């Protein structure tokens, strides 16, 4: 589904070069939920930004469904809108919009009619258990509810890949478990691939397998084979 080959990325800070990814390769199958682990500064967010087409200043190649990701801004933005979904630590909902409007937003960007936007966003909010909160603005929702809105927003346009950067880091452990379970269930039902950067061992243990980064390189000892299969 997505393959990344020999990804290298460094940042330039004045005259100093900061290496972030040295030479990282891997592959993720359709419908897999993969945890991206590693200590702070090991390159997790950098890799997510590359695979999520938020950063095109890298060396190496990323293939989505066998086709190289574009590096020019306009085709990259187009592909990002249609094929990718994002979930962030701090939810990143649009504060002046209702839950329904937040979830409909990716559909609007993809040119879906108003009527369909309403229908599909409502359906998605039902799937995350928020059918009674359609008109609530983010500041009138709990952290867990906001993250469920963000999950609905990430999935509403049926992307091939959802990228989540520390999606449970702002949540208490009980709420984090609920959020992970929703991600697992919907990823499975919709055959959507999830790549989830996390410090949370419980989150990682609920994923199908783990990729571990250490100082910008894959740590082959820690990167695991399937831990749990969807059937379990």
Ligand X SMILES: Nc1ncnc2c1ncn2[C@@H]1O[C@H](COP(=O)(O)OP(=O)(O)OP(=O)(O)O)[C@@H](O)[C@H]1O
Name the residues that contact ligand X, by CB under 6 A: 11, 13, 18, 20, 38, 40-46
- Write down the least CB distance from residue 196 to Mg ion, Å: 12
Q: Which CB sits closer to ligand X, 44 or 206?
A: 44
Question: Rounded CA gap, 188 and 176, in Å?
Answer: 18
With CB under 5 to 8 Å by kind, the binding choice for 13 among ligand X, Mg ion, none is: ligand X
Q: Which CB sits closer to Mg ion, 88 or 230?
A: 88
Query: What are residue 14's phi and psi, to 5 degrees?
Result: 60, -125
With CB under 5 to 8 Å by kind, the binding choice for 20 among Mg ion, ligand X, none is: ligand X
Radius of gyration for the chain, computed over Cα atoms and rounded to the nearest angstrom: 17
Q: Does 45 bind Mg ion (CB under 5 A)?
A: yes
User: Do 43 and 58 form a contact (C-beta atoms < 8 A)?
Assistant: no
Q: Which CB sits closer to ligand X, 20 or 130?
A: 20
Q: Which CB sits closer to ligand X, 40 or 173?
A: 40
Question: Rounded CA gap, 140 and 153, in Å?
Answer: 17
Q: Does 98 bind Mg ion (CB under 5 A)?
A: no
Measured in Å, how far apart are the chain's first and last C-alpha atoms? Answer: 22
Question: Rounded CA gap, 4 and 48, in Å?
Answer: 11
Q: Which residues bind Mg ion (CB under 5 A)?
A: 44-45
């Amino acid at each position: 589904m997505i393959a990344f080959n020999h990804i290298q990325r460094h940042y330039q800070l004045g005259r100093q070069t900061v290496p972030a990814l040295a030479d990282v390769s891997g592959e993720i199958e359709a419908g897999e939920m993969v945890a991206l682990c590693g200590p702070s500064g090991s390159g997790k967010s950098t890799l997510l930004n590359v695979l999520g087409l938020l950063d095109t200043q890298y060396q190496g190649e990323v293939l989505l469904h066998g086709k190289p990701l574009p590096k020019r801004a306009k085709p990259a933005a187009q592909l990002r809108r249609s094929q990718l979904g994002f979930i962030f630590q701090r939810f990143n909902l649009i504060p002046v919009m209702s839950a329904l409007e937040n979830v409909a937003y990716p559909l609007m960007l993809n040119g879906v009619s108003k009527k369909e936007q309403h229908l599909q966003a409502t359906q998605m909010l039902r799937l995350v258990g928020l059918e009674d909160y359609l008109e609530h603005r983010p500041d009138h929702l709990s952290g867990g509810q906001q993250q469920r809105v963000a999950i609905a927003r990430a999935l509403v346009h049926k992307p091939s890949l959802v990228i989540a950067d520390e999606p449970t880091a702002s949540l208490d452990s009980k709420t984090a478990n609920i959020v992970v379970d929703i991600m697992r269930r919907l990823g499975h039902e919709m055959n959507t691939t999830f790549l989830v950067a996390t410090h949370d061992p419980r989150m990682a243990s609920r994923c199908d397998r783990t990729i571990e980064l250490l100082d910008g390189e894959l740590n082959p000892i820690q990167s695991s084979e399937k831990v749990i299969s969807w059937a379990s």
